Structure 1
Amino acid sequence: MANSPTSRAAQILGRPLTLGGLTVRNRLAMAPMTREYSPGGVPGPDVAAYYARRAAAGVGLLITEGTYVDHPSAGTSDRVPRFHGEEPLAGWGRVADAVHAAGGRIVPQLWHVGMARDAGAPPVPEAPPVGPSGVPVKDSEPGRAMTLDDIDDVVAAFASAAAAAEARGFDGIELHGAHAYLIDQFLWAHTNRRDDAYGGDLLARTRFAAEIIAACRGAVSPDFPILFRLSQWKMSDYTARLAESPQELEALLAPLAEAGADVFHCSTRRYWEPAFEGSGLNLAGWARKLSGLPTVTVGSVGLSSEFMSSFRGEPADVTGLDDLLDRLEREEFDLVAVGRALLADPEWAAKVLDGRTAELKPFTPEALGSLY
């Protein structure tokens, strides 16, 4: 390994990676970030330009902002893109084409907010918030516990979106199973209080997620990658944990891998924090070790503070990447997802790969409103 920091970053981050039938040109991914720039749920030319610009600057895999599946209660904004319907899917097809033309690969993140939905909100104001038990994830009104028919409808909606992604030229899909949205609400004991086959112990609580994965796997080609995003923390509770030990994490991941997940995207607020006492491995490191599948790490990469500080109007300084490179070099994880740093600096990947880190821009809250 060369001693030059420039060549070290290029050699470690610049290696290609194969995920199922997809080869990604390097180890850099763009993290999904909700932007609400799709009026009526339709991604327009500005959305295509936004993703293509980052692909052209060297990001290997772009994971889109969360996109609503075709279920009345899936969303809570009319400006978040949908992944169903002729006009939204046509728009997403143009996004995929633009990214491919710029040399990148792209997967849509498929999303159902569940009990995080605000009652009366668009895009379907009359749709109630629904979840495994109707238990709210924050200080809000209870919603409706999902029936078995509801569960079947949502599973089918995810599978339909997966098929649409492949048909529109995307390179895989990501299922949003993190941050106390619907899939995660089934995984989390706090929100899942069911006494049927979808609730109870940890294994039972994975059933809903596993059924969605299996349905998506059946709706796409065998080598079409399925990423699954998970987290311990929730938007409403940073201390929440799905797994208190590596053994519990293995029990959580095993049915998801068996159902057909190809990659685990492990969301943490700070990528360098250990997942469990007694080991320096982060959540992505443990998921890789326990499942044997490729993993994506994420959380404050290249920045001095975690992402919620940005919503409080606080800037974040540029930080070094030596620890990240060390971990990637020893194969703790396989891909690195970058969020706010890519909002602030669309050229971030090119600058890092070229060793131009002195040119990196700090994050400022104004970047959250950036159109491109």
Structure 2
Amino acid sequence: MDKVRWGIIGCGDVTEVKSGPALQKVAGSELVAVMRRNGSLAEDYARRHGVAKWYDDANALIQDPDVNAIYVATPPGYHHEYTLMAAKAGKPVYVEKPMARNHGECLEMIAACEEAGVPLFVAYYRRGLPKFVQIKELLDSGALGEIRFVHTTFLQTLREEQSQELPWRLQPELSGGGLFVDLASHTLDILDYLLGPIGEVKGFARNQSKQLQVEDIVTTAYAFESGVMGTGIWSFNSFKRSDVNEIVGSLGKVTFSTFGGDLLLETADGQVQEFMIPNPAHVQQPLIGMVVDELRGVGKSPSTGLTAARTNRVMDEMLRGFYQ
């Protein structure tokens, strides 16, 4: 296609800065319509962002002839439904992460898009951010030697929910689980990007605080298909906040956060190198640029339905005992 003309389904917080403006700034891309079930909020978004059309009905936006690509930016509970609708209309889909509530929904989304002959992309935007591209270059260059193992420690303090209505991230029927699903998916996907697919997975999840009906701690051990080993712990009932990933090799290691800006390289000869790599103003813009390039036939996106579904499979395995 000569120009990608986007319609957004669900123009909430994630689209205000992270993604919405990027759809307008990327070359060959234009945001032409937005939809929200609350029409007045959709109209407000359109007015503030200079978007020509707004809707309160998803199907009306999908059927708009001026829209030739769909961005689904709703909670995960609606990703499956809207992706299938867009595929049936023959329009490419860019869907927020996590891709769906579970791996089964992901597979149905992939099948629907393949049958319709339309591409499916997922907004794991770290695959396009300069910091993570730098980490991949370090790994591919052999700076760490042969990669041995990965360890993740992610801690948050217990959230105090003040309102009677829980955020969608804490409602499994909308999110697929608790905060683990929303936040750990970023880490697990970027590890897939850096080291390849994860194979065997074992996990344990518990609700230690008894505050809510979702998991608040998850521990795991897993093996990448390459033979690299991995362990991790995500605790949302801790005394402090921490976000640390370590990739350890025979010649050194890299230490980095998923959500912060830090990146440290240590090598066996005692050298320590710190990288300061800022994020762009609109963090999804690099990935959206790659998606637009692929739709225009001049590039490839590193984040697709196939890559994103792998992360859902891994999380399903980690949470299997808890939700069964």
- TM-score w.r.t. length of structure 1: 0.27
TM-score between the two structures when normalised by the length of structure 2: 0.30
Query: Per chain length, whose mean CA-contact separation is higher, i.e. which structure has more relative contact order (CA < 8 Å, sep 6+)?
Result: 2
